[in-house]
Amino acid sequence: MGAVLMGAVLMGGSLDSREGRFVMFPKRDLRKTSELGVVHPDAAGIDVHSEFHFVAVPTGRDAEPVRRFGAFTEDLERLADWLQTCGVRSVAMESTGVYWIPLFELLERRGFQVILVDPRKLKSVPGRKSDVQDCQWLQQLHTFGLLAAAFRPDEPICVLRAYLRQRALLVEQGAQHIQHMQKSLTQMNLKLDRVLSDITGVTGMLIIDAILSGERNPLKLAALRNERCHHDEATIAKALVGTWRVEHLFTLKQSRELYRTMQRLVAECDARIEEHLQSLADRPVPPTGHDLPPARKKPHRKGRVAFDAQPLLEHKVGVDLTRIDGIDTNTALTVLGEIGLDMSRWPTEKHFASWLALCPDNRESAGRRQSVRTRPSSNRAATALRMAAQGLHRSQTALGAYLRRMKAALGAPKAITATARKLALMIYRALKHGLQYVDPGQDWYERQYQDRLLKSLTRKALKLGYQLTPTPPTPS
């Protein structure tokens, strides 16, 4: 409906409020439209494709206001030259796959103001869908300031984000090769995953290396057990009796090599991430006015970056985000790589939670709320915050108590989303106002919740004409 209304207005139509229908007027110049004001008079629209791009400039700037350009670099240079010749200053383009990235970066280098638009939020006039009309529609909407730019962080954060996303991809591929090793072991009836919590730990890799080196004696293999293993050598030896088929040993060897290759590439990513973080400018740490309690030491988790990122992040961010319960260095890096350090992009913390899709939907129709479910989103920052919230189930902190109370009332999925929203608000306040988080404790949260519950019950009792009277505690 919104696209139809906007199409009618831009095409010279008006809404008859008495009859609730559109009244079409004769076609006229869009620049003389009184209903909408021109915001970007020197605007262009680009419909992005993999092999070519359609570009539209304002009417009168060129004898051919819509042109098609190829996707090679020399074609992109000609596209930028043509836009400068036409006096274009601002460009709107679709975020189609990754095909927009070379053109976006080139236009930014040439001094254009470029906004990226989600193609799912673009609605053309029904019945008029073509590549030429798409770029013209983009140009018209951008002229009147009707397009919202998709979020894109600053250039240094974009570089950090690229490294972090590549690292996450390598970690995911490494996990797949671990599954391949487990499959090969299972096919040989070697129950190594039953007696070891992690087959890629010290004991697991020593045993796998010995197997691939030709060792078949289960007692000698079990003797490689690390002293911290829960199972004894006899149990491990029992799990290492199987069938040594050649084809399964071959697949086990290749999976091991691929896993170690992924680990080596992850280490290279860690080195590049550390180098790039050190190149960022430091942010001053705001004074707190009082001494902060020492940060709680968090358990080491497998998969963390290879360097000590906590002090480096504190200097670059200005606050220690790892003080927030559930946020470790990997989570902090992931979130910062996706959102950056400039919180002025979101006017309030509610806007930030909405952008992360961590709040209820507010779509209404005929005065009724259509849905209160959170919007589906593939936001990596929101995913990282949900994972951080999920790790607070047994935490003896205020956030852990909140998660458990919400889980009892709403169920685990909604409780994790609600706790992830709280984590997002804490990160927003820390980055925008420099506020350091201090855990008030589980007991404090329980007392606050009991006080709120008591006040609510007192109000309800007064409305019904009753009064609550406390009873003295019974002696034990």
* Residue 337 reports pLDDT greater than 50: yes
Tokens of 252: 């086990």
Mean pLDDT confidence for 346-361: 93
* Residue 185 reports pLDDT greater than 80: yes
* Residue 192 reports pLDDT greater than 50: yes
Q: What is the pLDDT of residues 85-116, one digit of tens each?
A: 999 999 999 888 899 999 999 999 999 999 99
* Residue 128 reports pLDDT greater than 90: no
Query: Are 202 and 92 in a shared domain?
Result: no
Task: Note the pLDDT of residue 130.
Answer: 80
Cβ-in-10-Å burial (0-12, 13-18, 19+) of 111 comes to exposed
Mean pLDDT confidence for 401-418: 95
Mean pLDDT confidence for 212-220: 94
Query: Are 233 and 325 in a shared domain?
Result: no
Query: Are 134 and 75 in a shared domain?
Result: yes
Which value, to the nearest 10 degrees, does the dihedral of the CA atoms of residues 179, 183, 186, 191 take?
Answer: -10
* Residue 368 reports pLDDT greater than 90: no
C-beta separation of 334 from 384 below 8 A: yes
What range defines the domain where residue 352 resides? 313-362+372-449
- Tell me the percentage of the chain whose pLDDT exceeds 70: 88
pLDDT confidence bin for 22, thresholds 50/70/90? very low
Residue 75: CATH number of its domain:
3.30.420.140
Query: Are 184 and 275 in a shared domain?
Result: yes
Q: Is residue 418 part of a domain?
A: yes
Task: Note the pLDDT of residue 3.
Answer: 40
| Domain termination site, one of 110, 143, 176 | 143
Query: Are 323 and 246 in a shared domain?
Result: no
Task: Note the pLDDT of residue 123.
Answer: 64
Query: Are 49 and 175 in a shared domain?
Result: no
Nearest CA-CA partner of 326 in 301, 343, 293: 301
Total number of domains constituting the chain: 3
pLDDT confidence bin for 292, thresholds 50/70/90? confident
Q: What is the pLDDT of residues 31-82, one digit of tens each?
A: 444 466 889 999 999 999 999 999 999 988 999 999 999 999 999 999 999 9
* Residue 253 reports pLDDT greater than 80: yes
Task: Note the pLDDT of residue 209.
Answer: 96
Query: Are 249 and 175 in a shared domain?
Result: yes
Q: Is residue 307 part of a domain?
A: no
Query: Are 165 and 132 in a shared domain?
Result: no
Q: What is the pLDDT of residues 257-280, one digit of tens each?
A: 999 999 999 999 999 999 999 999
Q: Is residue 63 part of a domain?
A: yes
Task: Note the pLDDT of residue 114.
Answer: 94
| Domain termination site, one of 86, 121, 143 | 143
Q: Is residue 84 part of a domain?
A: yes
Q: Is residue 342 part of a domain?
A: yes
Q: Is residue 255 part of a domain?
A: yes
Query: Are 214 and 318 in a shared domain?
Result: no
**What pairs with residue 14 in β-bridges?**
23
Query: Are 93 and 135 in a shared domain?
Result: yes
Query: Are 357 and 392 in a shared domain?
Result: yes
Mean pLDDT confidence for 369-397: 90
Distance CA 258, CA 238 (A): 28
Task: Note the pLDDT of residue 14.
Answer: 42
* Residue 126 reports pLDDT greater than 80: no
* Residue 6 reports pLDDT greater than 70: no
Q: Is residue 459 part of a domain?
A: no
Q: Is residue 388 part of a domain?
A: yes
Question: Beta-carbon neighbour count of residue 241 at 10 Å?
Answer: 12
Across 188-203, b (16+ Cβ under 10 Å) vs e yields bebbbbebbeebbeeb
What does the mean pLDDT of the chain come to?
Answer: 87
Query: Are 258 and 192 in a shared domain?
Result: yes
Mean pLDDT confidence for 272-294: 82
